[in-house]
């Protein structure tokens, strides 16, 4: 099949992506589409691939970092890092290098074009070659130990440490392990393809060599978008919906009130950022699997199938915590997970959790699986900490879970082209 350049250009403007793919498939050889400004022609397949890159890529630059209010992707690769350099300028350069790399990665672009010098290692590790951006988002955060560690002002940042950025308290029943806790920096990479997410973290950590190393890392997963076309609230490994009462990320006023740090909240370098709480929660799923459905629902305070509060029909129905059964007992137990999470209704957090599976627990021989609980908020002292304090003391769910890891990070504000992530902190 052949066409004149003029006809091809008209065709390329009108044809849909689906029809392009059909046409390319029907042709025994490449069909060319005019590519104005690209110095030549693209095959239909190449044009479709380029369009797909635009469809499933999330811009890195903006007022806020992506990966906080972005639609939740299928997979997570989370890494907590320890800074090894003692040079402030090297740390600043790391953030600059990360910014350049993150923009390319979130576009689905390699970190370099193919090198002609085969006697040096390539800058890009290559395992994501040919893959789309897969809605990759990369979110960077800084921990309290970046500011002060062992009483030392490490990088001249002590005066800039927000009062909210402190190590989380140890709550009752916590069994925290250093191997899953804390960190100077964090990278949260979320994507609809796990190889894309891993590739991002791997290359960012590679860039950090000589300046920072991984302290701990964890992969996570949710139900995929392909498996859940209705985009319902995801379920945790206990089979219950998780995140029903999240604030509405599309309401700017709600995000300013609940999620984004505002000018005057503390040092203004963090305005437009958010505080990220990370908790690695191991679930005793074998014990749970032997528990009756009635007891499971009383533990969560919700019906498993619908996600509705006990006694209601729909997931988002308002829970009636005062309703009693025929014996005068609350229909929704006061010590249920939902009732305690809700409290008086004044505290809200933006949940962005992922399930994890890490083989077998060497101590028990059972599954090492659970929830990498991640949430964002404007003030941890007023939001997550009061909620978790209630849960740690009375939650029926505590019989089936244990908290193994804990960390708090300040997620930096977004940045614009020409700037770098973390610029407000170091300026």
Three-class HEC string of the chain: CCCCHHHHHHHHHHCCHHHHHHHHHHCCCCCEEEECCCCEEEEHHHHHHHHHHHHCCCCCCCCCCCCCCCCCCCEEEEEEEEECCCCHHHHHHHHHHHHHHHHHHHHCCCCCCCCCCCCCCCCCCCCCCCCCCCCCEEEEEECHHHCEECCEECCCCHHHCCCCCCCCCCCCCCCCCHHHCCCCEEEEEEECCHHHHHHHHHHHHHHCCCCEEEEEEEEEECCCCCCCCCCCCCECCCCCECCCCCCCCCCHHHHHHHCCCCCCCCCHHHCCCEEEEEEEEEECHHHHHCCCHHHHHHHHCECCCCCCECCCCCCCCCCCCCCECCCCCECCCCCCHHHHHHCCCCCCCEECCEEEEEEECCCCCCEEEEEEEEEEECCCCCCHHHHHHHHHHHCHHHHCEEEEEEEEEEECCCCCCCCCCCHHHHC
pLDDT, tens only, 193-219: 999 999 999 999 999 999 999 999 999
Q: Is residue 122 part of a domain?
A: no
pLDDT surpasses 80 at 29: no
Q: Is residue 79 part of a domain?
A: no
Q: Is residue 97 part of a domain?
A: no
pLDDT surpasses 90 at 153: yes
Among candidate residues 17, 33, 55, the one where a domain is terminated = 55
Residues 223 and 334 in one domain: yes
Residues 156 and 261 in one domain: yes
Q: Is residue 131 part of a domain?
A: no
Residues 141 and 37 in one domain: no
The number of distinct structural domains making up the chain is: 2
pTM, full prediction: 0.87
Residues 148 and 270 in one domain: yes
Residues 45 and 148 in one domain: no
Residues 154 and 272 in one domain: yes
Q: Is residue 381 part of a domain?
A: yes
Q: What pLDDT score does 50 carry? A: 55
Q: What pLDDT score does 361 carry? A: 87
Lowest average pLDDT, out of 32-41, 102-111, 236-245, 324-333, goes to: 32-41
Which of the pair, 129 or 118, is modelled with greater confidence? 129
Lowest average pLDDT, out of 52-56, 71-75, 88-92, goes to: 52-56
Q: What pLDDT score does 7 carry? A: 40
pLDDT surpasses 90 at 32: no
Domain containing 250 equals 137-186+216-426
Q: Is residue 352 part of a domain?
A: yes
Q: What pLDDT score does 377 carry? A: 98
Q: Is residue 118 part of a domain?
A: no
Q: Is residue 67 part of a domain?
A: no
Return the closest-CA partner of residue 140 out of 423, 372, 412: 412
Q: What pLDDT score does 34 carry? A: 40
pLDDT surpasses 80 at 425: yes
């Amino acid at each position: 099949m052949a066409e004149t350049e003029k006809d091809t250009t008209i065709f390329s403007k009108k044809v849909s992506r689906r029809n392009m793919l059909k046409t390319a498939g029907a042709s025994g050889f490449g069909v060319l589409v005019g590519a104005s400004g690209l110095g030549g022609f693209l095959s239909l397949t190449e044009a479709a691939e380029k369009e797909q890159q635009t469809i499933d890529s999330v811009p890195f630059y903006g007022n806020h970092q992506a990966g906080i209010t972005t639609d939740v992707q299928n997979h997570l690769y989370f890494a907590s890092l320890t800074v090894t350099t003692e040079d402030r300028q090297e740390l600043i350069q790391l953030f600059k290098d990360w910014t350049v790399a993150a923009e390319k990665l979130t576009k689905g672009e390699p970190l370099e074009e193919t090198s002609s010098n085969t006697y040096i290692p390539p800058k890009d590790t290559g395992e994501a070659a040919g893959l789309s951006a897969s809605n990759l988002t990369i979110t960077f955060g800084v921990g309290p130990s970046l500011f002060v560690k062992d009483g030392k002002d490490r990088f001249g940042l002590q005066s800039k440490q927000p009062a909210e950025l402190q190590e989380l308290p140890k709550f009752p029943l916590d069994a925290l392990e250093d191997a899953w806790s804390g960190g100077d920096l964090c990278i949260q990479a979320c994507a609809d393809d796990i190889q894309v997410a891993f590739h991002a973290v791997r290359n960012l950590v590679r860039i950090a060599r000589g300046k920072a190393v991984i302290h701990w890392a964890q992969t996570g997963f949710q139900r995929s978008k392909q498996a859940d076309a209705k985009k319902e609230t995801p379920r945790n490994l206990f089979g219950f919906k998780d995140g029903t009462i999240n604030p509405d990320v599309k309401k700017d006023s709600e995000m300013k009130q609940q999620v984004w740090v505002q000018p005057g909240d503390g040092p203004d370098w963090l305005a437009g950022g958010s505080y990220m709480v990370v908790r690695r929660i191991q679930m005793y799923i074998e014990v749970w699997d032997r528990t009756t459905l009635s007891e499971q629902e009383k533990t969560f305070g919700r019906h498993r199938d619908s996600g509705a509060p006990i006694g209601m029909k729909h997931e988002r129905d308002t829970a009636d915590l005062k309703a009693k059964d025929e014996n005068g007992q609350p229909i929704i137990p006061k010590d249920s997970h939902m009732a305690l999470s809700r409290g008086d209704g004044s505290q809200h957090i933006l949940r962005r959790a992922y399930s994890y599976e890490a083989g077998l627990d060497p101590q028990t021989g059972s599954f090492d699986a659970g929830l990498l609980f991640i949430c964002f908020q404007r003030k941890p002292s007023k939001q997550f900490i009061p909620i978790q304090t209630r849960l740690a003391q009375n939650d029926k769910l505590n019989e089936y879970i244990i908290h193994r890891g804990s960390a708090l990070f300040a997620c930096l504000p977004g940045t614009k082209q020409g700037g770098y992530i973390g610029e407000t902190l170091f300026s």
